[in-house]
């Protein structure tokens, strides 16, 4: 077998098994461990695989098929994008918290984590512990009704003083968005 063929074979195994040890590879391919190290070196350099304490692992280069929002199909490469990490390890991108929350409520049982960005700092946070401002007089130029994400309750209160709207927790924000989707005019009545 040529080194290139062994590399292809190693990648195939890793894709299926995620982690394989070097000694296991040397047995399966019937070559020395030295040869395996030589074979995998270029793969490590190309960031295709990762050396770990348990052997070598496959790097999931991009399980994402597209960078479009899975809810509204707009480009999801925005500064307030939301990521849904699913149980099957794939990642869905949403353009904004509006789409992220509504998509989450559609596929809740397939999602292991939902991640969004704090509106002010851009820090990545778990969407489930964030606060949401809905109905504020501030335009994010994305989907409506919009929800603005904050990590800190103090900051969301300050922002609310300036721009209005109501504060919701994760679960509450989902029901509020759904309610406003059914009844679009309620967006203009601040509570």
190 CB contacts (<8 Å, ≥6 apart)?
Answer: 135, 164, 165, 166
75 CB contacts (<8 Å, ≥6 apart)?
Answer: 67, 68, 69, 95
142 lines the binding site for Zn ion (CB under 5 A): yes
Separation in Å, CA 110 to CA 5, 16, 83, 103 = 36, 21, 13, 11
69 lines the binding site for Zn ion (CB under 5 A): yes
Q: What is the rounded CA–CA span in Å between residue 109 and residue 34?
A: 45
Closer residue to Zn ion in complex, CB, 58/71: 71
Q: Which stretch binds Zn ion (CB under 5 A): 43-51, 64-72, 118-126, 127-135?
A: 64-72
Site for Zn ion in 33-52 (CB under 5 A): none
Of 13, 71, 119, 168, the one binding Zn ion (CB under 5 A) is: 71
Of 72, 85, 115, 120, the one binding Zn ion (CB under 5 A) is: 72
130 lines the binding site for Zn ion (CB under 5 A): no
Closer residue to Zn ion in complex, CB, 6/180: 180
Q: Angle 167-170-172 (CA atoms, 0-180°, nearest 5)?
A: 65
CB 109 to Zn ion: min, Å? 21
Q: How many residues does the chain have?
A: 191
Of 43, 143, 149, 167, the one binding Zn ion (CB under 5 A) is: 143
What is the number of other CB atoms lying within 10 angstroms of the CB of residue 66? 11
Contact 135, 164 (CB under 8 A): yes
SS3 7: helix
Task: Kindly write out the interface string for residues 82-121 of this chain, putting x where it contacts Zn ion by CB under 5 A and - elsewhere.
Answer: -------------xx--x----------------------
Closer residue to Zn ion in complex, CB, 136/142: 142
CB 77 to Zn ion: min, Å? 11
Closer residue to Zn ion in complex, CB, 49/140: 140
Contact 147, 133 (CB under 8 A): yes
What are the residues binding Zn ion (CB under 5 A)?
69, 71-72, 95-96, 99, 142-143
């Amino acid at each position: 077998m040529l080194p290139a063929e062994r590399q292809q074979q190693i990648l195939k195994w890793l894709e299926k098994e995620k982690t394989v040890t070097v000694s296991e590879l040397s047995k399966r391919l019937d070559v020395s461990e030295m040869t395996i190290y030589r074979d995998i070196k270029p793969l490590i350099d190309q960031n295709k695989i990762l050396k770990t304490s348990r052997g070598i692992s496959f790097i999931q280069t991009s399980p994402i098929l597209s960078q479009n929002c899975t809810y509204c199909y707009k480009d999801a490469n925005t500064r307030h994008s939301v990521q849904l990490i699913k149980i099957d390890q794939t990642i869905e991108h949403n353009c904004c918290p509006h789409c992220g929350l509504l998509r989450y409520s559609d596929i809740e049982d397939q999602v292991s984590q939902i991640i969004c960005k704090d509106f002010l700092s851009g820090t990545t946070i778990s969407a489930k512990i964030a606060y949401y401002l809905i109905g504020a007089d501030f335009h994010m130029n994305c989907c409506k009704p919009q929800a603005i994400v904050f990590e800190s309750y103090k900051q969301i209160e300050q922002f609310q003083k300036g721009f209005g709207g109501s504060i919701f927790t994760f679960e509450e924000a989902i029901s509020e968005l759904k309610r406003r989707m059914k009844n679009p005019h309620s967006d203009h009545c601040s509570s």
